Structures are given as C-alpha cells and as structure tokens.
C-alpha cells in the first residue's frame, strides 16, 4: 500500500449493472467499475495495452479479464463467456496461448505456476523467490510469442506488475513489444507506470483506470467482506477500511483482511505522535511505514490548508512546523529504500517510534 500523491480520479461513464458480468478470475464477478472499462477496451485495437493507475483499482483483474475475452471461444460484448474450454484453461492456469510474466513472489501469491527450473531452484533453497521480473522470464515470454498459437485467433502476454521489470527485462521485451510476430497481444498492468522505461510506455496504448464511485466501492467491499466472513462488515468498518486505503477498494480489502477496526485507526495518529507503537507493533514493517507515510501526508495537507485523506481531522495530532514535517518526510523516504531488508523488527520499530515522537510529540518544535 502506497501513500503517494493522489492521482486524478476518473469515475468513467454512468454505471451499469454488473451483477452477472464477466469474471475476475477469482470466482467472483468483475467489479462494476472494471466491467465498464472492459467493455470499452474490447472495442479498441492495438497489440500492446498499458493499464496504469495507483494500486487497489484492479489492474491485474482487468488485464486478466481482457486476456480471457481475447482468448475466449464464444466472447460477447461484456467479455469472456466463462464456460468454454479456453476460459476453463485460464481458470486452472494451463492455457497454452497465455503467458503470464510476473515476479516469482507474485506468481506464488496469485497461483500461477513457475517453470520447472525455477521451481526446483526455489524448492532446493538455492535462492529466494524474486520480487522483480527476471530477464530469464522475459526471454521465455519472447520465445512464447514466437511460437505458433495452439488455439483461437491470438496469443496473449500479461505482464504484472510491469514496473517490476528491471532494465534488462524491459529491454528484452522492447523489440517484440514494438513488432510482435503473428497475432500476439501484450497487456502491461502497472501500479507505478512512471517507473517504466519511456521506450516501453511509448510502445503501448495507455489506459488510466477509473476510480469507482464511493457508494460503488462501499457496496463491492461489503459484498466481498461478507463472502469472506470478515467481521464486522458494518458501515463504520467499511468507511474506515476505505479511508485507510485512500479510497482504493482492493487496498481497502487488505485492511479488512488484516482486521483493522475503526477504533484502532482513529487512535493511531495521536498514539504514534506520543511514541506509542502498541497499536501497530504486530503489523509488518512495510505496513507500519505505510501508516507513517499516510499520517505525514495528512499533516502536510492540513498544514497547507487542505483536507486529510486517510484520517479524520479530529484524530490528527497538532501539526509541527513545516520544516519539521519536511524533515520527517525525508526520513520516511529514506526508510522506504530499505524497508524490505531483513532488519530486526523490534529495533526498527523502536527507532521509528522515537523519531516519530521527536517530530510530532509535545516537544516537536524544539526537536525539529
């Protein structure tokens, strides 16, 4: 979850019913805001599409729905039929004309099989799963694109998250991305498109994902929370999860799965300002840093005369000087560069709590 600057919220055309719409590939219908975009994108031509926008809006689900529709034996105006042999092959991750290019960690998380060599290396503990898209995987995708399709009218390469390609991986794709052989279509789904090489972006038709309407996001989140047995799924909890995620529904679902309560979220800002880390000490370091970034964002927004995005104004501690906030912001940017390192969690938390108390606590003016 990222707490970066808020991007433009495109709500898209008027909402239609998507209760019986295309599948999201996870046993649930595609969310209505994605179903509307799918219908529009199916009317476009081109061999390379870049789905871009901040996290939590459904880039992966929309990309997979597009791939299903392009490979479906009986596609309709709303996408894949969900019943044919092609749709079933995608559901069980065995379609011969679909290549999914992902970091190994993402493949494991989403249930996509790894090649035999990679799987054996990981099982033998020769290395850890990569969080980047390795150049070897990119080369395999190019080899896949050069093979004759097995069924249907095209082959599809889905790259997600596309920003996880390193320079070597991205350069490996460039030539095929510009002039694919045969009927090959690329879908690049990214939650940080600005990190992609300009040469990659220039070879794709870009589509910026629409934000769902607030009520639409609430209804989707309520339905998924109830289907997964997440409690409580009352109005206060739903609003808290969405607010903690900055209005991004799928990021809000992660907060719901983590069991975040409205009471905890409301108490966090002042507790952190006092150096009290008890409310979030059991969370992963990356999540703790995310919360600090969100608190810093909101305090800077208020100091600049704006409104907070993640927390209620009444729950925020008094804002320190702008210079103090700027220093804290730089501290957090530095921490973000190393947050994935295997540091000792208790020591890292202690350092963060002390620095946060210095920046935001009662003596922040003198400390800064």
Compute how many other C-beta atoms are within 10 angstroms of the C-beta atom of residue 294: 23
Distance CA 325, CA 139 (A): 45
From first to last of its 368 residues, the chain has per-residue pLDDT tens of: 433 333 333 444 333 333 345 766 666 789 999 999 999 999 888 899 999 999 999 999 999 999 999 999 999 989 999 999 999 999 999 999 999 999 999 999 999 999 999 999 999 999 999 999 999 999 999 999 988 888 878 999 999 999 999 999 999 999 899 888 878 999 999 999 999 999 999 999 999 999 999 999 999 999 999 999 988 889 999 999 999 999 999 999 999 999 999 999 999 999 999 999 999 999 999 999 999 999 999 999 999 999 999 999 999 999 888 888 999 999 999 999 888 887 788 899 999 999 999 888 654 444 44
- Model confidence pTM above 0.75: yes
Classify burial at 327, counting beta carbons within 10 Å of its beta carbon; exposed 0-12, middle 13-18, buried 19 or more: middle
**Tokens 């498109």 appear where?**
193
With a CB cutoff of 8 Å and minimum separation 6, the contacts of 136 are 118
CA atoms of 293 and 244, how far apart (whole Å): 12
Helix (H, G, I), strand (E, B) or coil at 260: coil
* Contact of 54 with 2, CB cutoff 8 Å: yes
């Amino acid at each position: 979850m990222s707490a970066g600057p808020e991007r433009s919220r495109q709500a898209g055309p008027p909402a239609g019913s998507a209760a019986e719409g295309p599948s999201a590939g996870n046993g649930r219908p595609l969310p209505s805001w994605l179903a509307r975009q799918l219908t529009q994108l199916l009317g476009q031509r081109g061999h390379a599409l870049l789905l871009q926008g901040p996290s939590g809006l459904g880039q992966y689900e929309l990309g997979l729905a597009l791939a299903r529709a392009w490979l479906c034996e009986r596609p309709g105006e709303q996408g894949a039929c969900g019943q044919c042999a092609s749709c079933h092959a995608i559901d069980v991750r065995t379609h011969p004309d679909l290549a999914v290019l992902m970091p190994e960690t993402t493949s494991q998380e989403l249930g996509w099989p790894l090649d035999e060599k990679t799987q054996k290396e990981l099982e033998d503990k020769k290395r850890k799963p990569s969080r980047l898209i390795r150049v070897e995987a990119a080369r395999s995708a190019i080899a896949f694109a050069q093979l004759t399709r097995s069924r249907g009218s095209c082959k599809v390469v889905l790259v997600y998250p596309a920003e996880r390609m390193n320079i070597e991986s991205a350069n490996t794709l460039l030539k095929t991305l510009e002039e694919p052989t045969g009927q090959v279509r690329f879908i690049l789904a990214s939650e940080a498109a600005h990190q992609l090489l300009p040469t990659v972006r220039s070879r794709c038709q870009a589509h910026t994902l629409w934000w769902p309407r607030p009520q639409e996001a609430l209804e989707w989140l309520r339905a998924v929370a109830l289907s997964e047995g997440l409690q409580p799924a009352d109005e206060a909890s739903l609003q808290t999860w969405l607010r903690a995620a900055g209005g991004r529904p799928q990021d809000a679902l992660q907060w719901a799965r983590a069991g975040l309560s409205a009471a905890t979220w409301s108490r966090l800002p002042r507790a952190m300002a006092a150096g009290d880390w008890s409310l979030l000490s059991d969370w992963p370091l990356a999540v703790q840093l995310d919360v600090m970034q969100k608190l810093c964002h909101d305090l800077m927004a208020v100091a600049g005369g704006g409104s907070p995005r993640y927390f209620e104004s009444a729950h925020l501690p008094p804002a320190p000087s702008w210079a103090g906030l700027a220093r804290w912001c730089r501290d957090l940017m530095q921490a973000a560069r190393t947050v994935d390192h295997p540091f000792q969690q208790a020591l890292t938390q202690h350092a963060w709590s002390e620095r946060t108390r210095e920046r935001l606590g009662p003596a922040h003016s003198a400390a800064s």
